[in-house]
Amino acid sequence: MNDYKQSITNLEDVNTSFDNKFKEGATAGGKVLASTLGNEKNIPYRGNVYEWVLANYYLALDYAFLNDMDKARVFFNQTAERQRRAKDYFAKEIAKEQENIKKQEEKAKSKSKGKKEVSAQFLGSLNGLTDKYKSLELMKGYENFSNPLVNYFSGIFYLLNNDKGKAERYLKEAFAISHAKVVGEDLAGVNKARNTKTTWVIVEDGEQPLLEEVADKDLYFAMPYLKDGGKGIDFKQKYSLNGKDLEVLSNFNEVIKAEFNHKLLIKRG
């Protein structure tokens, strides 16, 4: 738990690997998406954009815990930049894919009658998947591919280092997504004098959603979906402090679903 130096070594290796894949335009296009959209067993794991952001985030925390605030600041800045680039990238990709889908729909209308039966069967199979994807509607705020945990902790870091301008900006971003009461309280107190010491308690728990495959053997057609509607495993117990229950700051299921939904759009397009 306290071996921050070893953690830094491991995360730097991960960071280098992710940088090689994601440095061009936030992601390396189809190669990055392949592990989700293709056959998971046959394609090497290439990581996800949210993991690329988290690798830098945990490096920032490690340096902060080692009291190397200069390096921590560098990595918090880089983390924010990665999240911004990811958001911009996905916005462009979504617009591009929506245009591609329109073009393909027009092509489908002009197909020969001989192919209509197969097309109808294929579309019927797609419609049969609807229930599996109903639960993938995103909670309000998470559709911009930002993780409020990253924004919140960045805000606290800058607040403790007396950079109130950056602290306020990051806390605003975290509050806009999470609407968590504790974030609002910290935001309201950014410019107030702190006469007492404050301890922040943040609990990370649960397991991320898992991918499974749904297939139609007759049509040689397969698509990934998130098991149990992308619920993952939530907190195993309720956490409380001084008689008050801790509230959810960042719902990682939604962070993961946001990226998965985008990759699914590309697959279906």
Percent of the chain with pLDDT over 70: 49
Average pLDDT, integer, range 22-41: 46
CA distance 14 to 238: 32
Tell me the CA distances in angstroms from 222 to 129, 133, 147, 216, 256, one per residue in order: 11, 14, 30, 6, 21
- The residue-averaged pLDDT of 221-236 equals 51
The H-assigned helical ranges of 110-163 are 116-128, 130-134, 148-160
pLDDT at 63 over 60: yes
Q: What is the pLDDT of residue 176?
A: 86
Percentage helix, strand, coil for the chain under 3-state DSSP, each rounded to 5: 60, 5, 30
Domain ranges of the chain: 4-147+203-248+250-268
Output 51 or 70, whichever has higher pLDDT. 70
Q: 32: number of CA atoms within 13 Å, CB side?
A: 27
Q: pTM value?
A: 0.67
Give yes or no for residue 12 having a pLDDT over 80. Answer: yes
Mean pLDDT of all residues in 117-139:
48
Does the structure show a pLDDT above 80 at 229?
Answer: no
pLDDT given for residue 154 in this prediction? 94
- Mean pLDDT value across the chain: 71
Count of H-run helices and E-run strands, the chain: 10, 4
Q: What is the pLDDT of residue 24?
A: 54
Task: Tell me which of 261 and 166 has the higher pLDDT.
Answer: 166
Confidence of residue 222 (pLDDT cuts 50, 70, 90): very low
Lowest mean pLDDT among 128-137, 147-156, 205-214: 128-137
Q: Provide mean pLDDT across the span 137-166.
A: 79
- pLDDT of amino acid 263: 57
Query: Does residue 182 have a pLDDT over 70?
Result: yes
> And the tokens for 26?
């936030």
- Give the model confidence (pLDDT) of 72-100 as tens digits: 999 999 998 888 877 777 666 666 666 76
SS3 211: strand
Report the pLDDT value the prediction gives residue 43, as an integer from 0 to 100. Answer: 45
Highest mean pLDDT, choosing among 4-8, 82-86, 222-226: 4-8
User: Looking at the predicted structure, is the pLDDT value of residue 19 above 80?
Assistant: no
Strands 240-241 and 211-216: unpaired
119's CB contacts (< 8 A; 6+ apart) are 108, 111
Partners of 224 in beta bridges: 213
Distance CA 138, CA 57 (A): 23
Residue 243: its pLDDT value, please? 82
Distance CA 144, CA 85 (A): 11
